[in-house]
Structures are given as structure tokens and as C-alpha cells.
Amino acid sequence: MKRGKNAVNVALAQAIAQAARQDIQGMVAKGSNSEQIAVQAQKTVDLVARKLPAPQCRQGCSFCCHQHVLITRVEAQLIARYLRALPELEQTFFGDRVGEVAQQTQGLDWRERANRKIPCPFLQAGSCSIYAVRPLQCRGVTSYDASICEREFQLADVADCQGAPASEELLHVAQGMQLALEWCLKFSDVGELTQLVHESFIQPCQTP
């Protein structure tokens, strides 16, 4: 999601994923399904976040919600399930928004998508409408200086971003948990948030 100084150290994320792998395999052996395991992965990231100094991220600050977000299919299924539980009018609204943004972003690489500053379909009035089930990447990307996020949001090309000061620990735990889901679960291929939610929302939910 964010680039520059906050780029992910792949080896570190893989080491975290390796450690999480055993826990996930244990949960699978005890009969947990993929969505329950994904929720547990989200809780792990949130637990780490609570132990860190509070970032400047807050309701109404959404500069980082105009980017390419990678998620696993099981995370998309969680979001689709959440959307299906909303009142019908809201389901229709978000179904339409997801469809529009999926069309606008189809085929764009991370750089083109961010440079066009297309908001996430779940960003409404500056807030995340699916906060309880937001993806691991959204949980892992924080900022200790919102003014840098704002300045970088105004750049014409995100390739020039240096990244705001953030918790590298949280970023790597989130990335590691996402990798662990990808390695251990069925239906855990990775794709762009809007595209995968679009597919999961219009198709029957299946929990392996």
C-alpha cells in the first residue's frame, strides 16, 4: 500500500508468516473455518497495534484510502458477508459503489490507481464504512505524521512518495499475517480490494 521508507521487508514478513503458520494449522485441525482464521489474524494485528504509540490516524483522515490495497480472497469474503448483513438500501448502495470503482480501477497497476486518486468504495464522508472487517493491510498501515500523508497525497506521482513515519513492526505483522493466510488457506489467492470484493459480493459466499 504505502511505498518509500515504509516498503515491506519481505524476509521479515515471511518470518512472521512462518511463525503464524503453526497456529493457523492448529486452528484448521480444530475445525476453524477460513473466515474464523482471518478474523483471528485481524485480532493479532489489532493486539500489536494497541501496544504501540498511538498514530495520528483518526476518523476523517483518509489520505491513504485512495490506494491499491491487496487482500486475500478470504478477507474479501468477510467483507462480502458484512455487506450482506446491512439493510437492503445500504447493500444496494455499496454494491453499486464497488461495481463503479471496480470498473474504474480494472487493469490499473498500483501506481496508476494511486495517481488517479480514486477513493476506496468504502470511504464515505472521510470514514471507513467497513471498519470492523477492514483488510489486514488497512490495519497495518499507520502514520505518526498526518501532515506528510496529506503532502504526499497531493503529489502527482506516488513514485515520489517517501512515506510518513509509521510503525514498521505493525506493517510487518499485518503483511506476515496476510502471507500466512495466503499460504495456509483454500480460496486465499490475493488481489486488489475492490476487484475481489466485487467478485465475492456478487457470488454466493462459500466458507471452506
**How many Å separate Cα 130 from the centre of its chain?**
11
For ligand SF4, give the closer residue by CB, 27 or 128.
128
Helix intervals (H) in the chain:
10-29, 34-51, 73-84, 88-105, 110-115, 136-140, 146-153, 168-184, 193-202
Q: Does 122 bind ligand SF4 (CB under 6 A)?
A: yes
How many residues bind ligand SF4 (CB under 6 A)? The answer is: 10
DSSP 31: T
Write down the least CB distance from residue 190 to ligand SF4, Å: 15
For ligand SF4, give the closer residue by CB, 37 or 197.
197
What amino acid occupies position 135?
Answer: P
According to CB under 6 A, which residues from 3 to 62 bind ligand SF4?
none
d(CA 12, CA 18): 10
**What is the distance between the terminal CA atoms of the chain, rounded to a whole angstrom?**
28
For ligand SF4, give the closer residue by CB, 137 or 188.
137
Write down the least CB distance from residue 122 to ligand SF4, Å: 4
d(CA 97, CA 100): 5
x/- map, 126-165, ligand SF4, by CB under 6 A: --x-x---xx--x---------------------------
d(CA 197, CA 83): 10
Write down the least CB distance from residue 194 to ligand SF4, Å: 9
Other Cβ atoms less than 10 A from the Cβ of 206: the count is 10
x/- map, 171-200, ligand SF4, by CB under 6 A: ------------------------------
Residues that bind ligand SF4 (CB under 6 A): 65, 69, 120, 122-123, 128, 130, 134-135, 138
